[in-house]
Structure 1
Amino acid sequence: MKVTMKRSAVAIVAGILASGIVPPPQLSAAEWARKNLVVPDGPRAGELWDDSLTPYIAEPLEMCATESGVNEIAVRKSAQTGFTTLMIAAIGHLIATDPCRAMIVQPTSGALKEFNAEKLDVAITGSAALNKLVKEQASRSGDGSTAVRKKFRGGSLKLAIASSAADLRSSTIKKAFLDEIDEYPDDLDGQGDPFGMVEARQESFLMSGEWLRVYVSTPTIKGGSKIDGYFEGGDQRYWYMPCPGCGEKFKFVFDRKYFRFNDEFPHEPHYATPCCGAIVEAYEKVSLMKRGGWVPEASRPGAYPSYHFDALTSPFVPWEKIAARFVEANQDPLKLKTFNNLTLGLSFDMKGDAPDHVRLMERREEDVVRGRIPAMGLVFVGTADVQLNGIYYLFKAYGPDRQSWRVDAGFIEGATDDPHAGAFLKLEELRTKQWPDAYGRRRAVDLFGIDSGYRSHVVYTWVRGKAATFALKGLDGWSRPPIGQPSSVDIDFNGQRIRNGAMVWGVGTWSLKGGFYANLHKQGIAAGQPADPPGYCHFGSWMDEVYFRQITSEYLGTEKIKGRTRRIWMPRAGEQNHFLDCEIYGDALGDYLGISRMTPDEWRELASMRGLPDGVVDADMFAPAPLLAAKHVAIQQEHVQISEAVDRRTPPPETEGGWYNSNDSFWDR
């Protein structure tokens, strides 16, 4: 019997060999991540990536692949939305399927170190598909990965920081992933901004069109946010869902006309859709979100994909928490900025116009007694600003709702080149003074801070060894915290290195100034309102025009730098700002002491420690009632003390110790 084969043995063998050589079908970025990427952190850490919980990640992830034909992507987001995983997944897909030279840029060395150690390295070692491709850092061949570069066959991933020109100009790259870009500097040593330097690294790929830049960030302030610019330059995609009532597409927005909740716990938040008013309960949020999709609101030729996503839609943040955050902000400009940025993913409209100084002077109050800590001034701080021929100083107290009272302010004339003489001697007397309060007690400042920007070495020596005394340094930038972690300096005022140097505390002055000016604009009882609002600023009738001109001496202006627009604080022509600096540093110390974070119970405990009489410590320290009660008690106490002082023919408590303004004698005030 003869068997006839349709294919020769050679053809069969060749076919088998070919099947082993031909690569498997190319997986899309999202498909690759679902099959290979192990999530490095979060509620599903250690598990394969599953976008069923975060379906909004899949589309922008696909845009990061070369075959998408997209060159730029922008993501404006709130915190805790999962977009860090987007970048890790895109990088993993690149390593596995499209190896090339790439770069990821973080704003600071600390952020880069954290990203590498807690996210990227964890994802690489935990994902078998990546672990076998990325070379070990401990390789002896010299061809292995390093702390700043992940190497793999056909390419590498450089880890860079936005503040280092050397990092950004050192190599040609095809793809760049730029994280938290609102924290990037505007200029690098006069060499340009980080974005221009990254773009220059991609020149070789412009003709082929294979380059990619991904911009991801939470925003900062309106008019100065970098991610706002990139988002608005794209087609502005939002996550739309079908209305459960009528089926019309809508998106969640933070508008209390639609997002409704109680101002007290339980907040019971729910959403009324704008189309037909159908109610979406908090427990229905996630299931409704999963039925949504991206819809561009600004489609036009040349617009790249840009995305906005926030906590209102995020599966990770309950509506109850969002409502609580807004209520807890309690009109605090800094907290509202944080809420807008980190919860809503929106830039904050910082009010940068100071009120007219004459109008502020008209608000002065007779019962704000110089040298006397007011009834509700439970937190008490002092600050100073050193100049060539003297030192400006300010002492102020804060109440439970961030209202503030000026206790004393002035200028100490004298030399400032020696920390042991001149104006510093008089400043030390003020720093250590025991100040009378409204209840007959005496208190020292809780914290004292002094600007170290001028005569730095003298200031370092003066603060060294002093309890509760900070050397402060103002820092530019909208992402700076009110007061950061200190750094040590070990130089004395003669320029000699010493051990156990002073600590210098950085102060994020830009946001603090915005908050201070917002508070100055608030209207209270003096303007006919029923109560003074949270954050209201009280001034004594003893305060002169110099002080008011100085605290209103700056405004929020716009300038162009290297072709980009940014918003910065600018001085008014011919005006000085020393008392403004003292005010801002005082607010930084207040933030350090927790005036915006303390709970009502903590305020009540502090009030008890300060000796407030019974009846003043109300059940709700934030209500207007205790403020009015305290004011009444304070007036009574003041009348009693003054009467007793007159009987004894001695100065009343608020005059003891004298003042060091050269134009101000002991009694003549």
Structure 2
Amino acid sequence: MQLPDALTIVVEALIAAIAPPQQIDPPTWAERELTVPDGPKKLEKWSRHLTPFVAEPLSHTSIDSPVNEFCVMKSAQTGFTTLMIAGIGHTIDIEPCDQMIVQPTDGALTDFNSKKLQIAIENSDALAKKVAPQTARSGKASTTYEKRYGACSLTLALASSTADLRSKSVRKAWCDEIDEYAEDLDGQGSPFDMIEARQESFLADGSWKRIYVSTPTIKGGSHIERYWEGSDKRKWFVKCPHCRDESGESSEFVFEFGPNFRYSDEWPYRAYYVAPCCGSVVEEHEKRELVRNGRWKATDPGPGKMPGYHFNAMSSPFVPWPKIAERAVKAGSDIAKQKTFYNLTLGLPFEMKGDAPDHVRLFERREDGLPRYRVPPAGLLLTAAADVQMRGIWYEVTAWAPNGESWTVDAGYCDGDTSSPDGEAFGLLHKATLGREFDDAFGGKRTLDALGIDSGYRSHVVYSWVRQNQRLHPDTGKDVVLALDGRDGWSLPAIGMPKLVDIDLGGHKIRQGCKLWPVGTWSLKGSIYDDLRKEGLKSGALRDPDGYCHFGTWLDMAYFEQITAEYLSDEKLRGRSRKVWKVRRDNHLLDCRVYNKALAEYLGLSTSTADEWAALARHRGLPVEVTKRDLFTPPEATPQPLPPPEADPEPVQGDWIGRRGRNWLR
């Protein structure tokens, strides 16, 4: 090779190295470079042909777009996580700058990194060349929570970490599943305000980008709903294959769940759509092509409004209409299932009923034949929950059937000092719960499957008592005694993963001496209130519905006043509206019922299979028939309980709730 030729090669290589990257828009870049990291098209090249509805919002993630922020309110599994990965990848390759992806939980952040982002990086030549590996020795290696590319980086942040959200300035902020973000971080401010503050230095030149993506939760308490309501509300319109409008163009409409979506209420759930413009039928097999040729159209345009996108399973290429019909049928009138259907399939916030059930009506529909301390025929699970006060402990024991029906087996108050785990009140609680055997309806003896204690008050006393009394259940292998931590918020699970906490009591400290279980109380209260409103045999129904709450005549009016003591209300927090639970009177037994339902979920109330319920019934010496009630099973088909015992066990405390008078603790 001659010297001039070698010099030419060197110069060309140098020019290529220092030349700015070719400016292409994010959708085009994604089609060239992005490998889909998960889902039905995993490890295939991304194509706007399959998910054309992603292209427009994805294009707004580029600095070339005049749009600074937009929101996406969506159902599950619609392809919008790919939007974030594609936008991040385009930024790394074409528009390098500092950016941040914010996830609601550590688990979500870990999954996003390992199961989505890292796979996309490793399967893209462009990204793999630019993102420093974690094994790099130059001092500029990437880490689990920071991807480095040249002088810039992508920070993977937790929405619950003020340290993460107060990190360096970023030009682009990707906010994922924002309905799971807290309203306030331990009094230090809103995570949204903290994220905005990280972009202050980019306000002057207008180059900042902020993207909000989430499935919604509760109407009036949903972050993504709030952003959607302030947007221009874009929906995915399809062309009617059968008619045209007055201008000669094809009429347009949106596939929405409602009266135009027709389906059979039994398998195979045949479904079709009636075009609202002309009444013609659109079959399932026509949907994909219509969606492929659809377009976004603002339904509420206005000056200053950000683009907002709503997309749900009705238009998704991944979810068949019969599956949507099946989910709707199976949700029925069950509030918890309806909420799941609205949020995850329709991409809509669910409206909870805010009024409390009528406590007088509940008192009037008490049932004979439900003696105190007796587990009813279908009560396969037995839980107890306790609410610790400055003086005394409230508690409730509840039996649960596989279909969610519940029976109050015992409830009361243990008077005494609670400043020590060896105090009188805790001794009485042990006698009423862990130390008691309950007769079942078939002559057997039952003990608790789980006992949960609210640790919000006297925390370290509760931790110590739980540690002293901990045991594993011989049937389930699970902890029997749980320290519980009630959490506010609409997106939290009934019961989450525990964390180990220290016990610091009486000058003695035990590191990581107790498990603390978080309980999402807000949604549980809504579910319980829905169950309390249900009408059963006592009201003339053909049967007691799933989730029906049974109460014996031994319960007095004060009990029902407590379990209906809260209501939903609208309030402003930092200028934002939200739905919150308000207390109108003593609510200790409502708290106990909330924790009891969380414990039932901990034991598998909603997740156990029919075979597992049958095995549990056999193991406990119960007829398997108690697990098999259906719509056509008359009440008489349920095995009849034994007659009441001649003498009930002695109550823990001589005084019952009503004898203390209302608000006696005050």
Q: TM-score higher than 0.5 here?
A: yes
Find the counterpart in structure 1 of residue 521 from structure 2: 509
Within 2, Cα distance between the matches of 1:279 and 1:383? 53
Q: Shift of the alpha carbon at 1:83?
A: 0.8
CA contact under 8 A between 2:261 and 2:272: conserved in structure 1? Answer: yes
Within 2, Cα distance between the matches of 1:516 and 1:495? 40
Within 2, Cα distance between the matches of 1:125 and 1:77? 28
Pick one of 535, 541, 551 that aligns with 1:529: 541
Within 1, Cα distance between the matches of 2:592 and 2:322? 38
Within 2, Cα distance between the matches of 1:664 and 1:346? 44
CA contact under 8 A between 1:330 and 1:534: conserved in structure 2? Answer: no
Pick one of 618, 622, 629 that aligns with 2:637: 629
CA contact under 8 A between 1:457 and 1:494: conserved in structure 2? Answer: no
Find the counterpart in structure 1 of residue 271 from structure 2: 269
Within 2, Cα distance between the matches of 1:484 and 1:26? 45
Cα-Cα RMSD: 2.8
Residues 184-218 of structure 1: CA distance to partner in whole angstroms, max 9, x if unpaired? 12123434312222222222222322221111111
Q: Shift of the alpha carbon at 1:612?
A: 4.8
Q: Does 1:304 align with 2:306?
A: yes
Which is worse superposed, 333-342 or 224-233? 333-342
Within 1, Cα distance between the matches of 2:111 and 2:587? 38
CA contact under 8 A between 1:460 and 1:493: conserved in structure 2? Answer: no
CA contact under 8 A between 2:103 and 2:177: conserved in structure 1? Answer: yes
Q: Which residues of structure 2 form unaligned runs of 5+?
A: 1-8, 244-249, 473-479, 658-666
Within 2, Cα distance between the matches of 1:68 and 1:490? 51
Which is worse superposed, 522-531 or 125-134? 522-531
Number of matched residues? 632
Q: Does 1:202 align with 2:194?
A: no
CA contact under 8 A between 1:354 and 1:520: conserved in structure 2? Answer: no
AA partner of residue 176 (structure 2): D
Q: Shift of the alpha carbon at 1:480?
A: 1.0
Q: Does 1:462 align with 2:470?
A: no
Q: Does 1:388 align with 2:390?
A: yes
User: 1:628/1:301 Cα in 2 relative to 1: closer, same or farther (>3 Å)?
Assistant: farther
User: 1:211/1:569 Cα in 2 relative to 1: closer, same or farther (>3 Å)?
Assistant: same
Q: Shift of the alpha carbon at 1:583?
A: 0.3
Find the counterpart in structure 2 of residue 8 from structure 1: none
Q: Does 1:169 align with 2:177?
A: no
1:30-49 equivalences under 5 Å are 30-49=27-46
Pick one of 591, 599, 617 that aligns with 1:581: 591
CA contact under 8 A between 2:387 and 2:393: conserved in structure 1? Answer: yes
1:466-615 equivalences under 5 Å are 466-467=471-472, 468-491=480-503, 493-494=505-506, 496-498=508-510, 501-572=513-584, 575-612=585-622
Within 2, Cα distance between the matches of 1:607 and 1:290? 51
AA partner of residue 595 (structure 1): L
Q: Shift of the alpha carbon at 1:84?
A: 1.0
SS of the residue corresponding to residue 414 of structure 1 reads strand
Pick one of 426, 443, 451 that aligns with 1:448: 451
User: How much identity, in percent, do the aligned residues show?
Assistant: 52
CA contact under 8 A between 1:259 and 1:271: conserved in structure 2? Answer: yes
Find the counterpart in structure 1 of residue 209 from structure 2: 212
Residues 280-326 of structure 1: CA distance to partner in whole angstroms, max 9, x if unpaired? 34344333321222121111222221101112221222333333333
CA contact under 8 A between 1:413 and 1:662: conserved in structure 2? Answer: no
TM-score scaled by length of structure 2: 0.88
Q: Shift of the alpha carbon at 1:628?
A: 4.1
TM-score scaled by length of structure 1: 0.88
Within 1, Cα distance between the matches of 2:488 and 2:616? 33
User: 1:617/1:101 Cα in 2 relative to 1: closer, same or farther (>3 Å)?
Assistant: closer
Q: Does 1:158 align with 2:166?
A: no
User: 1:22/1:173 Cα in 2 relative to 1: closer, same or farther (>3 Å)?
Assistant: closer
Residues 84-134 of structure 1: CA distance to partner in whole angstroms, max 9, x if unpaired? 110111111112222222222112233222212222222122211111122
SS of the residue corresponding to residue 68 of structure 1 reads coil
Q: Does 1:238 align with 2:235?
A: yes
Pick one of 130, 133, 139 that aligns with 2:130: 133
Find the counterpart in structure 2 of residue 179 from structure 1: 176
AA partner of residue 518 (structure 2): G
Q: Which residues of structure 1 form unaligned runs of 5+?
A: 1-12, 643-650
SS of the residue corresponding to residue 28 of structure 2 reads helix
User: 1:348/1:94 Cα in 2 relative to 1: closer, same or farther (>3 Å)?
Assistant: same
Find the counterpart in structure 2 of residue 428 from structure 1: 430
User: 1:320/1:571 Cα in 2 relative to 1: closer, same or farther (>3 Å)?
Assistant: same
User: 1:395/1:517 Cα in 2 relative to 1: closer, same or farther (>3 Å)?
Assistant: same
CA contact under 8 A between 2:543 and 2:634: conserved in structure 1? Answer: no
Pick one of 395, 400, 418 that aligns with 2:402: 400
Within 1, Cα distance between the matches of 2:510 and 2:446? 33
CA contact under 8 A between 2:571 and 2:578: conserved in structure 1? Answer: yes
Find the counterpart in structure 1 of residue 662 from structure 2: none
Q: Shift of the alpha carbon at 1:421?
A: 4.4
Find the counterpart in structure 2 of residue 361 from structure 1: 363
AA partner of residue 484 (structure 1): G
CA contact under 8 A between 1:108 and 1:162: conserved in structure 2? Answer: yes
Within 2, Cα distance between the matches of 1:560 and 1:241? 38
User: 1:595/1:628 Cα in 2 relative to 1: closer, same or farther (>3 Å)?
Assistant: farther
Q: Shift of the alpha carbon at 1:58?
A: 0.8
SS of the residue corresponding to residue 220 of structure 2 reads coil
Residues 149-184 of structure 1: CA distance to partner in whole angstroms, max 9, x if unpaired? 322235322222222223223322222111111111
Residues 535-560 of structure 1: CA distance to partner in whole angstroms, max 9, x if unpaired? 22111111112211211111122222
Find the counterpart in structure 2 of residue 658 from structure 1: 650
AA partner of residue 254 (structure 1): F
Within 2, Cα distance between the matches of 1:347 and 1:240? 21
CA contact under 8 A between 1:600 and 1:621: conserved in structure 2? Answer: no
SS of the residue corresponding to residue 351 of structure 2 reads coil
SS of the residue corresponding to residue 317 of structure 2 reads coil
Which is worse superposed, 507-516 or 468-477? 468-477
AA partner of residue 655 (structure 2): N
Find the counterpart in structure 1 of residue 246 from structure 2: none
Residues 489-546 of structure 1: CA distance to partner in whole angstroms, max 9, x if unpaired? 3426435233773322111111101111111222223333333322221111111122
